[in-house]
Amino acid sequence: MDPKLTEVSQLFERFKAAITRKDYDSCTELLSHLKVLLTSFRSLPPLFENTPNSIHELTLARDIYEHAVLLSVKIEDQDAFERDFFQLKPYYTDAGSRLPPSPNEYMILGLNLLRLLVQNRIAEFHTELELLSSTALENPCIKHAVELEQSFMEGAYNRVLSAKQNVPNETYGYFMDLLAKTVRDEIAGCSEKAYDYLSLKDARQMLLYTSDKELLQYIEEEHPEWEIKNGSVFFQKAKESVPCKEIPSLQLINQTLSYARELERIV
C-alpha cells in the first residue's frame, strides 16, 4: 500500500479515537493535518485523476470529511461546517457514481439543509433541495428538514419548535436549538412591523416563551432598542419611517426645456 495512504489512514484512526474520547482540540489539529495531506493526492477533487488507488483514496477522503462535518457540529462551529460540507460535496455529487454509497450521506445532507434553514438562507435551501433525487427525499433525515421548512414558511412556528422532540439523529439537536432562535427572530421582526406595542404577556406568548424572565433576557440580548414601560413592549425605532423624497421638479423642468431647445436646433 502507498505509504502516504497508510500514513493518512493511521492518522485518521487517531482522529476517530480522539472523537470518541471527545478530545476535540486534538481532533481539530489532526483534522487540519489530514487535510493538508489530502491535498497531495491527485485522485481527489478537483483533479480526479485515475490512479490505481483512486477508489480507496476517494473513499478515505470522503470518510475524513464526513467526520470533519460531524466534528464541526459537535464543536458547534457553523463556519467549519460549511467549509467541510462544501469540500465533502464533490465526493457525493461528482464521484458518487464511482464509490459505494456512504451510510452517512443523507444524514449529512439533511444536516446541511437544517443549517441553511437556521441561517435563514431559504434560497440556497431550495437549491440544495432541487439537487436531490426523489429517493433521497424519502429519507427521514431529509424529510424532517423539508417538513420543518414548510412549517417555517407557513408560520406554524409552534410546530417547528415542537419538532425538536423527534429528531432523526442526535446530531440534529444542535441545529434544532438554533432553529428555535431563528424562529423567534422571525417572530420578533414581524411583531415590530405589525404592532406599535405589545403587552408583556402577549409578547411572551407571541415569542413562545414560558416565563417573563426569558423574554426580558431575550429582549436585552437581541433587541435592546425595544422599550419596556407600563408592562408593555414598545417597538418605536422600527416605526421611524423615512419621509417621501421630494420630486426634483425644477431640475426636471429645466432638463425638458433644454431637450426641447436642442430638438428645435437639430437639423
Partner 1 sequence: MAATMVSSAGGLLAMLNESHPSLKLHALSNLNSFVDQFWPEISTSVPIIESLYEDEEFDQHQRQLAALLVSKVFYYLGELNDSLSYALGAGSLFDVSDDSDYVHTLLAKAIDEYASIKSKAAELNDEAANVDPRLEAIVERMLDKCITDGKYQQAMGIAIECRRLDKLEEAITRSDNIHGTLSYCINVSHSFVNRREYRREVLRLLVKVYQKLPSPDYLSICQCLMFLDEPEGVVSILEKLLRSENKDDALLAFQVAFDLVENEHQAFLLNVRDHLPVPKSLPSESTESAPAQNESTAAAEDVQMTDGTPASNANVQGTDPKEVIYAERLNKIRGILSGETSIQLTLQFLYSHNKSDLLILKTIKQSVEMRNSVCHSATIYANAIMHAGTTVDTFLRENLDWLSRATNWAKFSATAGVGLPVVAVHTQKGGALYALGLIHANHGEGIKQFLRDSLRSTTVEVIQHGACLGLGLAALGTADEDIYDDIKNVLYTDNAVAGEAAGISMGLLMVGTASEKAGEMLAYAHETQHEKIIRGLALGIALTVYGREEEADTGTANNKAIRQLLHFAVSDVSDDVRRTAVLALGFVLYSEPEQTPRIVSLLSESYNPHVRYGAALAVGISCAGTGLSEAISLLEPLTSDVVDFVRQGALIAMAMVMVQINEANDSRVGTFRRQLEKIILDKHEDTMSKMGAILASGILDAGGRNMTIKLLSKTKHDKITAVVGLAVFSQFCIQNQLLCPPATSAVKLPTAVLSTSAKAKARAKKEAEQKEKVNNEKTDAVGKGKSSSEKEGDSMQVDTPQEKKAEPEPSFELLTNPARVVPAQEKFIRFLEDSRYVPVKSAPSGFVLLRDLRPNEPEVLSLTDAPSSTQSPAGGSTTGQGSASAMAVDEEPQPPAPFEYTS
Instruction: Name the one residue in this structure whose C-alpha cell is 435592546.
Output: 224
Please state, in angstroms and rounded to a whole number, the distance separating the CA atoms of residues 94 and 130: 16
Instruction: Supply the minimum distance, in Å, between the C-beta of residue 79 and partner 1.
Output: 7
Please state, in angstroms and rounded to a whole number, the distance separating the CA atoms of residues 244 and 16: 61
Identify the sign of the CA torsion 35, 39, 43, 45: positive
CA dihedral 200, 212, 170, 21 (to 10 degrees): 140
Q: Which is nearer to partner 1, 87 or 104 (CB)?
A: 87
Q: Which is nearer to partner 1, 124 or 185 (CB)?
A: 124
Tell which phi-psi region holds residue 194, choosing left (phi > 0), alpha (psi between -120 and 50) or beta.
alpha
Q: Which is nearer to partner 1, 14 or 164 (CB)?
A: 14
Instruction: Supply the minimum distance, in Å, between the C-beta of residue 90 and partner 1.
Output: 5
φ/ψ (deg, to 5) at 228: -115, 115
Please state, in angstroms and rounded to a whole number, the distance separating the CA atoms of residues 43 and 50: 6
Binding interface with partner 1 (CB under 8 A): 32, 35-36, 39, 45-48, 50, 79, 82-90, 93-95, 97-98, 262, 265-267
Instruction: Supply the minimum distance, in Å, between the C-beta of residue 52 and partner 1.
Output: 12
Instruction: Supply the minimum distance, in Å, between the C-beta of residue 60 and partner 1.
Output: 16
Q: Which is nearer to partner 1, 229 or 265 (CB)?
A: 265
Instruction: Supply the minimum distance, in Å, between the C-beta of residue 94 and partner 1.
Output: 5
Q: Which is nearer to partner 1, 63 or 186 (CB)?
A: 63
